[in-house]
Structure 1
Amino acid sequence: MKTRLQTKLTGEEAAQIQLELLKDGFLKFEALKNKGIDLFLAYSDGAKSKSFFEIIPDGFEYFPQLGDTIGDRMDHAMKTIFAKGYEKVVLTGSDIPNLNQKIIQDAFDKMEEVVIGPSCDGGYYLIGSTYSIDLSPIFQTNIGWGKQNVLQETIALIAKRKLYVLPTLKDIDYPEDLVEALKYSEKDNYFFNQWLKENRGRVK
């Protein structure tokens, strides 16, 4: 649940936005399976509704997020997938409208040790590594998750690693981000764009 959207929107509206972004993500990234990239979804407690599970397409494995902090949950997700035998794992958020197949493909192709995708708010929308690199010390560090210096602190902690930096993208955290999204959201965000169109008056 995107609680920071609820300064102007209801909890139901915030949940609907999350749902539309997820549906777009499923459509955009499903083809990656044909390129050797397996897809997994780590869901939060707030997503365990019937409507949520109904939108997950066949071929997407899913498991619950575990942990008290964002770092804990990312650490658990990375370890869960590496335990399945994968050599490279990439984590990304579901609230980045202009995240596309090329960026995900580049994350895997350009990764030597670590890859990161900065977000405009000082955090990052994507992080990934090879099996030989343990990111747990970073995830378990007392980083101010959700603050403007998360990216800077994370990069400082992986300074000795071979790092590839992806393009900077905007995510959806606050009502103002929805206003901006009206200007930049790409056309393949069908469900999200439809929501923006129908609720334009709500996000001015």
Structure 2
Amino acid sequence: MNKKAYILFTRVPVPNKVKTRLQSLLTGEEACQVQQRILQDSFVKFQPLSETGVDLYLTYSDEGDPTELLTALPKSFHSFQQHGKTIGERMNHAMKYVLKMGYEQIILTGSDIPNLNTSTIQAAFNQMRDVVLGPSPDGGYYLVGCTRSIDLTPIFETNIGWGKSEVLKETLRLLTDFDVTLLASLQDIDYPSDLKGIRNDLKEENLYFKHWLEENRGILE
């Protein structure tokens, strides 16, 4: 076992269950395809981390059958199901579950950030003192990490409005006693405007998602 662990936090891609805020423009199936393509790119992008001293984990929700998702998962990833009612409870469970294995540093990210790559993950490990966060333009955060001595339960199991614009601000207020590192902001994909906006800023390594955007460019015009 290595000293560092990375957790990719995702929902099982199920039409009309994932990326529902995209459905003001896309069908449930199309919104699900967006989630699937970004996940496919993530598996390819993050697999090399396992060769640099980072153990890889995928934690998935319980909306549907995870068989297809887990079949596509590279062997370098371990996987386990999420537990908890809120997103905060599920993130807390995931981080504690992995930290109990003895890691010294742990990082968790969402699964809908196309331009997230290994350089960002490595920077998060390298710059981490107590806690590291990756801000999103919408006021939330796409990445959270900490050392094994830090208990983030007071953040995850509180009345923070998950998915709202004050999430990062409220989280930082709860972390005033810790040394917090902030990374560069990255865009996640929640709304059709996010899909349209990232087309000209998408890194080349996002092959599956890039292909989907090209195939469906007529929808986004």
Q: TM-score, normalised by structure 2?
A: 0.90
Alignment match, 1:62: 79
Which residues in structure 2 correspond to 1:147-158 (within 5 Å)?
A: 147-158=164-175
- Secondary structure of the equivalent of 2:129? coil
Which residues in structure 2 correspond to 1:131-142 (within 5 Å)?
A: 131-142=148-159
Alignment match, 1:9: 26
For residue 47 of structure 1, report the CA deviation from its aligned partner. Answer: 5.4
Which deviates more from structure 2 when the two are superposed, residues 170-179 or residues 49-58?
49-58
Gaps of 5+ in 1: none
Q: Distance in 2 between matches of 1:112 and 1:123?
A: 21
Alignment match, 1:71: 88
CA offsets, 1:171-192, max 9 Å, x none? Answer: 0001111001111111000000
Alignment match, 2:123: 106
CA offsets, 1:94-129, max 9 Å, x none? Answer: 100111111100111111110000001100000010
For residue 43 of structure 1, report the CA deviation from its aligned partner. Answer: 0.7
Does residue 185 of the first structure (1) align with residue 202 of the second (2)?
yes
Kindly provide the amino acid, as one letter, of the partner of residue 165 in structure 2. Q
Q: Distance in 1 between matches of 2:187 and 2:144?
A: 15
Kindly provide the amino acid, as one letter, of the partner of residue 168 in structure 2. L
Aligned residues between the structures = 204
Moved over 6 A (4+): none
Gaps of 5+ in 2: 1-17
Q: Distance in 2 between matches of 1:2 and 1:81?
A: 26
For residue 149 of structure 1, report the CA deviation from its aligned partner. Answer: 0.5
- Aligned residues: CA RMSD: 1.0
For residue 52 of structure 1, report the CA deviation from its aligned partner. Answer: 1.6
- Return closer, same or farther for 1:47/1:58 CA change in 2, 3 Å cut-off: farther
CA offsets, 1:28-82, max 9 Å, x none? Answer: 1111111101110011123534322221111111111111111011101111101
- Secondary structure of the equivalent of 1:46? coil
Q: Sequence identity, in percent?
A: 52
Which deviates more from structure 2 when the two are superposed, residues 51-60 or residues 124-133?
51-60
One of 46, 49, 62 as aligned partner of 1:32: 49
Does residue 173 of the first structure (1) align with residue 190 of the second (2)?
yes
Which residues in structure 2 correspond to 1:41-52 (within 5 Å)?
A: 41-46=58-63, 48-52=65-69
One of 114, 125, 134 as aligned partner of 1:117: 134
For residue 203 of structure 1, report the CA deviation from its aligned partner. Answer: 2.0
Kindly provide the amino acid, as one letter, of the partner of residue 134 in structure 1. D
Kindly provide the amino acid, as one letter, of the partner of residue 43 in structure 1. Y
